[in-house]
Amino acid sequence: MGWLADETGLGKTPANFVALTPLSFLDRAADVHADRTAVVYRGTRRSYRDYHARVSRLASALARAGVEPGDVVATLLPNVPAQAEAHFGIPAAGAILNTINTRLDADTVGYIFDHGGAKVVLADTALLPLVTEAVALMQGPAPLIIEVADREAGIAASGAHPEYEDFLATGDPEAPWHMPQDEWESLALNYTSGTTGRPKGVVYHHRGAYLLAMGTAVTWAVGIRPVYLTIVPLFHCNGWCHTWMMPAVGGTLVCCRDVTAKNIYDAIADEGVTHFGGAPIVLNSIINAKPGDRRAFDHVVEVYTAGAPPPAATLAAIEPLGFRVTQVYGLTETYGHVTECLWHDRWDGLPQEERAAIKARTGVLMPFMEDISVHDEKGNPVPRDGQTLGEIAIRGNSVMKGYLKNPKATEEAFRGGFFRSGDIAFQHPDGYIKITDRAKDIIISGGENVSSVEVEGALMHHPAVSLCAVVAKPDDKWGEVPCAFVELKEGASADAAELIAFARSRLAGFKTPKHIVFCDLPKTSTGKVQKFELRVRAKEV
């Protein structure tokens, strides 16, 4: 191979090198799959030809509204067609897509608008009160608000802001796209709660999203022309990049605004849904669906689940209903899933209990990643003995560029050439990873990360609270919910309902503690609260 390095004329040219970007998937699909159904939402059905034209209009309209390459355009949208169009149209304008969690409180949304520097926000009509309050709390210039009315859901435009369809009409359906010259260019900005009250901005590049989308299509055996149901919020790791993946395989994206068992069964029966992703809470809703909400179907539906290991009882109950479940694992910093519990034929004959235990493993690295293993405190791989604990360390192309405007946190996260996940695990002799605990006290409720520090900070504002500690309490429905242990100030009084209501006024609903326990908190000699003891107590509450 040495002669290649010495030869002249072997450099990159437009003929042999093109920057990787998921935009190319839709550009191709508009030609190859032009007449196939690309997007379905209730009564709306759009072909790839129409999908591409609307994306071009959005990119053009944004440019005409003053959005320049490198600007941030935010969305506050449920899983509706406009959110899918934004995933292509915003980067096609050269801008950076910032999908914001619709369940956040106004203070956090306002911080994200400021920190990311959003120039425009596409907002669902039902979320306009949240957007208005968030904008009022901003320190910097307010973004242009484009209202997305959902007529399919019976939600008409308010008239207070330019409406999305009118905005699209200002764009050119044949406008050229701004394709990245460098695949390292920023594609998306996603905020994660982390372990502090203020979220960190995670920056994705085009290369990472392209490779995760392509790699998922291979390892999940998606095949050609699948029908994918959008249960994972597109604001969560950009829906694990699955919306970007669909055009690559000529698939149909079925949008789901309201995730209910009935809507899931209806989509499978009426649209022939073949794939979806979701947290274990979604699986439980399917299992426990009312008889009137169930629909018959005659094919196996492939399911990726993440957020928490699915309980063995859940797996045992859902698979006979026609679903094949695979656990995956990842973080906002890794574009979504980067490990999978890849199944082996040798496990087929095992008893159900043993099969479920294997399926509950965190798994092995997916094919687009380079190395995912468990490291000790010195950064060395732990023995694969099924018991030695360490931190999951991740290296590969689908790892974030870093945290926006936070080089110190970025440097810390990338110590030793790996992304340090903060998740504690061990490795089996066959290499399969199994998470045993969450470092940094993150609570995962319904697939959403909750910072215990943020919840504690909210409760500490109550005048009767002297000290509090928040830990995860196992929950059959949500996987985990916040449980707060509280010490009251001497002579002060408060009851659980009062504190829960107080927290709810300051936090998003999913972050609000569901249980309050009044007690003297266990502490070390230095005054540090012993949360490991509280986790044990929380299981008994």
Q: Is residue 243 part of a domain?
A: no
Q: Answer whether residue 273 is part of any domain.
A: no
How sure is the predictor about 450, in pLDDT bands with cuts at 50, 70 and 90?
confident
CA 431, CA 471: separation in Å to the nearest integer? 30
pLDDT, residue 439, reads 62
What residues pair up with 118 in beta bridges, in sequence order?
72
Whether residue 453 is predicted with pLDDT greater than 80 in this model: the reply is no
Residue 88 backbone dihedrals phi, psi, to 5 degrees? -105, -40
CA distance 92 to 24: 10
| 296-322 mean pLDDT | 86
Q: Is the pLDDT of residue 408 over 60?
A: yes
Taking 60 as the threshold, does the pLDDT of residue 2 lie above it?
no
Domain annotation covers residue 503: yes
Give 454's pLDDT tier (boundaries 50, 70, 90): confident
SS (H, E, C) 83-138: HHHHHHHHHHCCCEEEECCCCCCHHHHHHHHHHHCEEEEEEEHHHHHHHHHHHHCC
Is residue 421 a contact partner of residue 392, using CB atoms and an 8 Å limit?
Answer: yes
pLDDT tier for residue 9 given thresholds of 50, 70 and 90: confident
pLDDT band at 195 (very low <50, low <70, confident <90, very high): very low
- Between CA 295 and CA 281 the distance in angstroms is 19
Among 10-19, 170-179, 374-383, 432-441, which stretch is predicted with the lowest mean pLDDT? 432-441
Please report the pLDDT score of residue 1 as a whole number: 43
Between CA 317 and CA 323 the distance in angstroms is: 10
Query: DSSP labels for 42-79?
Result: TTEEEEHHHHHHHHHHHHHHHHHTT--TT-EEEEE--S
- The number of distinct structural domains making up the chain is 1
pLDDT on residue 308 = 66
What is the spatial distance between Cα 332 and Cα 217, in angstroms, rounded to a whole number? 20
Residue 527 lies in a domain: yes
More confident residue, 438 or 404: 404
Q: Is the dihedral angle over the CA atoms 323, 329, 332, 336 positive or is it negative?
A: negative
- Residue 522 placed within a domain: yes
**Angle, CA 161 vertex, CA 157 and CA 167 arms, to 5°:** 85
Query: Of the ranges 47-61, 277-291, 472-486, which is most confident?
Result: 47-61
The answer to whether residue 525 is domain-embedded is yes
Q: Strand 200-205 to strand 227-230: parallel, antiparallel, or no bridges (unpaired)?
A: unpaired
- The count of C-alpha atoms lying within 13 angstroms of the C-alpha of 416, restricted to the half-sphere facing its C-beta, is 15
- The count of other CB atoms within 10 Å of the CB of residue 312 is 17
For residues 333-343, average pLDDT: 97
Residue range of the domain that includes 495: 447-538
The DSSP secondary structure of 152-218, one letter per residue, reads GGT----SSS-BHHHHHHTS-TTPPP---SSTTSEEEEEEE-TTSSSPEEEEEEHHHHHHHHHHHHH
Q: Is the pLDDT of residue 446 over 90?
A: no
What CATH number did the domain enclosing 472 receive?
3.30.300.30
Contact indicator for 451, 432 with CB cutoff of 8 Å: no
Task: Evaluate whether residue 378 is within a structural domain.
Answer: no
Q: How far is CA 108 from CA 111, 113, 222, in A?
A: 5, 9, 36
Confidence of residue 440 (pLDDT cuts 50, 70, 90): low
The token pair at 118 is 């959003």
What span, in angstroms and rounded, lies between the C-alpha atoms of 423 and 391?
6
Is 471 inside a domain boundary? yes
pLDDT digit string, tens, across residues 239-267: 999 999 999 999 999 999 999 999 999 99
Please tell me the total number of residues recorded for the chain in this structure: 541
Share of the chain above pLDDT 70, in %: 95
pLDDT for 187 equals 98
